[in-house]
Amino acid sequence: MTNRIDCLQYANWSEKIFRQMREGGVDAVHATIAYHENFRETVLNIEAWNRWFERFPELIFHGCTGDDVRKARETGRTAIFFGFQNPSPIEDDIGLVEILHSLGARFMQLSYNNQSLLATGCYETEDPGSTRMGRQVIKEMNRVGLVVDMSHSADRSTIEAADISERPITITHANLHAWHPARRNKRDDVVRAVVEKGGMMGFSLYPHHLQSGTDCTVESFCEMVARAAELFGSEHFGIGSDLCQDQPDSVVEWMRTGRWTKEVDYGEGSAAAPGFPPQPHWFRDNRDFGNIEAGLRAIGFDNAEVAGLMGNNWLAFYDANFGPAP
C-alpha cells in the first residue's frame, strides 16, 4: 500500500485545496502554521485551523501520530500535521516546546534563513553552529517528540544538530545542491549527516529549488531523486513539495522579511521577479502527485521504492518520532 504524504505545504488554504488533496489521494500534509509568529499568534493560527477542521470534517482532520495517516486513508480524508518554519513560536522560553507539542505541533525548524536563538540560517555569511539554547531546545524536542527540521539552516548548524540530537532529524523540503546550487539546497555532507542518524529529507517542488526553475522537467527531478537514492538509500527520502498554492505575493514578502527588517529582501527571487514563481506544469497542485509517481517508475524505481518515496518512508518516520522519547 502506498501512503501519499507531502511533508511541507504552505498554501492559501481553502475548500478547493482540501478537495484537490482528496482528488490527488494525499493522505497527509505537513502544513506550516508559523513563519515569524510569536506564541500567541501561533495559537491564533491553530484556532483558524480548528475552524477548518470543524467546517470540513469529511475532507481533513488534525493529525498527531502515524496512525492518523492510516486513519486518513481508511476514511478517505487528509490528515494535517502542524509545523513551524522558525522557532519564533517558543520565543525565548524552552517550556513552550512541550506546550506547543501538546497543541499538535510536530515539526520545528531551528532557524529560518537568519540567525535565531537556536541556530544559524542559510542566508547568514557566518555559521557558528548550534547555540547554547539550541542544544537545550534540541534535547527538549527529543524528549517530547517535536521533530527538528533544518530545511532553512546553514550547513554547520545542520550537521551539529544531527550530531547533538538523540533522535533522527529532518530536512523537510530541499533538493541536492549538486543538482541545483540554490542556497537552500543541501550539499552531500549535510545530507549524509542527517541520514546517517536515521533522518529524512523531503524533495522540494518549489521552482527556486529546481534545476531550470519553472521549466524543470519531471525527468530531471526524478533523476535527482535517483542520484540521492544511489548515494544515501531511497529509504531516507520522501516528498516535501513546499507548495505555496494560491498565495498572494504579499505572503512571500512576509516569509522573507517578517518584522526583522524595514528593507526589501528578495530572498531567492529578484527585483525583476519578486513574487512566487509559477509551478512546473507537471506539479501545479495536489492532484499532480501521480505525475511524480509515474516519473519515479519511469526512472527505474521498483514498486516498494516508489511507495516509500511517495509516503511510506515518511510514515515510518512519523511512527518512530512523534511521541515521547522511549
Pairwise CA distance, residues 168 & 196, whole Å = 9
- Residue 106 pLDDT greater than 90, yes or no: yes
pLDDT of 80 above 90:
yes
pLDDT tens string 276-306: 999 999 999 999 999 999 999 999 999 999 9
What percentage of the chain reaches a pLDDT higher than 70? 100
Structure pTM?
0.97
The alpha carbon torsion through 18, 22, 24, 25 (nearest 10 deg) reads: 130
CATH for 5-321? Answer: 3.20.20.140
Domain ranges of the chain: 5-321
> Which among 33, 28, 38, 36 has a CA at the least distance from the CA of 11?
33
Q: How many CA atoms lie within 13 A of 314 on its CB side?
A: 34
Asked whether residue 273 carries a pLDDT value surpassing 90, the answer given is no
Cell 522540494 identifies what position? 204
Helix extents (H) in the chain: 15-23, 39-55, 66-75, 96-102, 132-144, 155-164, 188-195, 218-232, 249-257, 289-299, 303-307, 313-321
Which of 86-100, 161-175, 188-202, 250-264 bottoms out in mean pLDDT, i.e. has the lowest? 250-264
